[in-house]
Amino acid sequence: MITRERLVEITLVLLLAAVPIAAQLLNEPFYLTLATRVAILGLAAVGLNIALGLGGLVSFGHAAFFGVGGYVAGVLAIHAFNGTPMLLGLPGTKLMPFIWIVAILVSGLVALGIGALTLRTSGVYFIMITLAFAQMIYYFAISWPAYGGEDGLSFYVRNGFPGVDTLKPLPFLLICYALLALGLILFQVLRKSRFGAALQGARQNEVRVAATGISPYRIRLVAFVIWAMITGVAGALYADLNRFVSPAMLSWHMSGELIVLIVLGGVGRRFGPVVGAGLYVLLEYWLGGITERWQLFLGLMLLGVVLFARGGLIGLLAGKPRHG
Amino acid sequence: MADPVLSVTGLSRSFGALKATDEVTLDLRPGEIHALIGPNGAGKSTLINLISGALSPDAGSVHLGGMDVTRLGVSARARLGLGRTYQISSLFPEFSALRNVMLAVQARQGSSFRFFLPVMADASLRDPALSLLDRVGLAARAHVIAAELSHGERRQLELAMALALSPRLLLLDEPMAGMGPEGSKAMTALLAQLGHALPILLVEHDMDAVFALADRISVLVYGRIIATGSVEEIRRDPEVRRAYLGDAA
Ligand SMILES: Nc1ncnc2c1ncn2[C@@H]1O[C@H](COP(=O)(O)OP(=O)(O)O)[C@@H](O)[C@H]1O
Ligand SMILES: [Mg+2]
């Protein structure tokens, strides 16, 4: 049987697929950039959806992983461009698959460290400590002149992908779509797995999970690392989209935007991140063209969702989630 | 006599000036139901929490099957075979009854770091979970969300989850609380069946159930055990009658 949620999801996929066609027909290549932003922010939000939606981990540090992914892309690209070796004499690279792997490894390692220390706490303390770590990384990036410091790091040519002309917006968009799709599949697989059951159990009733003999700490640590890895890849794509990475990607605004986006879309719902990212990017585009204060409207919408539609936009469209 | 599966020695715990548990010594032998009774606030739940590891004691020790577990946490003690239910039902409210038990079975198997196979397609979780639900009389309600189960059904579900851990013993904190007479009777019958295979430390207010089930009874008043003995001994004990049973016995 096709549920309402499934129908909403199919519609969303068709809408995303229609963007490149519309861009072509209307001769509006900028639509491709918008769709790319949706895919990338959506992917970052999918990562957050694992930690927050499945695991109930409210943190304020995910910009750290987004930014780390971005810097990995920027730093590798700059070294490849200049032909200079990096740390330990390793060469840079301009190939996206390698960049993604490095972004996954580095974000994962950073998350393992931060998570191991912060997941002992919960609630407000967890929020504040993750924020503190993210700010440390932010200030570190600002005060690192070799990689642009406050000004950030520009690289003039987008990184490559074997057999694909990434300089053109459409192929790059398709790459981002593909990774978003992978992220969504991963979310679904994890949600249904034993790991997902334990992670959701720890959110619903931490004491009970512990009493059955599963350590919530270890489950959450793994979720935290997976989340960071996905966010890191999204960060690398974001850097490639803009051909620029700066400390702004690491700032707490970024963390806040991702949380806003997922709450708008629907926390814990598979396509919540996609809806949220779409809404966010469209609002930014339309309202941002009218007024600088477009985030005021975003805030009002957020208020509306929090007060009247706890399931976010997906909840409004598709009703309550099915459990089982 | 066979070695006790659980022995508690000189266990004490204070909350500020209040001695909630005061040098409690007690054991649980294989195959027995040992009831712990006492007025409200006597420290029964506190004692259960100390035994399960949810609270740490100020003094004293807890041994499980001869092994000192006093310093171990809740998860570790659960893995060593200590199963429990809570005075207030503690479930996964968004999961169905079946998935609640499946998660407990999964914990027992010690295999939560599997990321790909969907649990609902996993017979090694589903089958044992279904048979446990059947055992506690909840098979017909397997697909109902835990939050929507009746009070009595939640207690049955808790029991199924505790059993899923294949425990060596059970700590049950007021399993009949809030149940109607029918529910109490059914639960009493269920526990009577279990009790022969599985030692149970049973905290319960329902005296009919306690007298029907218990092999031994300990009476806790103001954190202290004032008497331990057979049902008959406890019924006759003058101090117990004065402090607790009143004329009910
Ligand atoms: N976490 C706590 N902090 C302070 N006092 C507590 C705490 N838990 C229990 N108590 C007190 O300890 C006493 C024993 O409580 P409890 O073990 O719940 O009794 P029972 O289960 O026998 O009714 C009560 O006076 C209660 O108020
Ligand atoms: Mg109690």
- Each residue's pLDDT tens digit in chain A (324 positions)? 688 889 999 999 999 999 999 999 999 999 999 999 999 999 999 999 999 999 999 988 889 999 999 999 999 998 888 888 887 778 888 899 999 999 999 999 999 999 999 999 988 999 999 999 999 999 999 998 888 888 889 888 899 999 899 989 999 999 999 999 999 999 999 999 999 999 999 999 998 898 888 899 999 999 999 999 999 999 999 999 999 999 999 999 999 999 999 999 999 999 999 999 999 999 989 888 888 888 888 888 888 888 888 889 999 988 887 654
Strands B82-84 and B200-203: unpaired
**ipTM metric:** 0.88
Which residues in A lie closer than 8 A to residue B158 (C-beta atoms)? none
Which residue does chain B place closest to A217, by CA atoms?
B75
Spans of all domains in chain A: 4-318
Ligand 1 atom closest to the CA of B49, numbered from 1: 17
User: Is A205 touching B (CB cutoff 8 A)?
Assistant: yes
Q: How many C-beta atoms surround the C-beta of residue A140 within 10 A?
A: 11
Query: Nearest ligand to the C-alpha of residue B175?
Result: 2
Interval A94-141: pLDDT, tens? 899 999 999 999 999 999 999 999 999 988 999 999 999 999 999 999
| B56-97: pLDDT as tens digits | 999 999 999 989 999 998 888 988 999 888 777 789 999 999
Asked if B116 reaches chain A (Cβ–Cβ under 8 Å), the answer is yes
The verdict on a CB contact (< 8 Å) between A208 and B143 is: no
| Domain spans of chain B, in order of start | 1-81+167-249, 91-166
The CATH label, of 3.40.50.300, 1.10.490.10, 1.10.3470.10, 3.30.1330.120, for the domain at B1-81+167-249 is 3.40.50.300
Q: How far is the CA of B46 from the centre of ligand 1 (A)?
A: 6
- Residue B88: closest CA among chain A residues belongs to which residue? A208
B126, closest residue in chain A (CA to CA): A194
Residue B56 Cβ < 6 Å to ligand 1: no
The CATH fold of domain A4-318: ABC transporter involved in vitamin B12 uptake, BtuC (1.10.3470)
Q: Is A204 on the interface with B (CB under 8 A)?
A: yes
- Look up the pTM and report it: 0.86
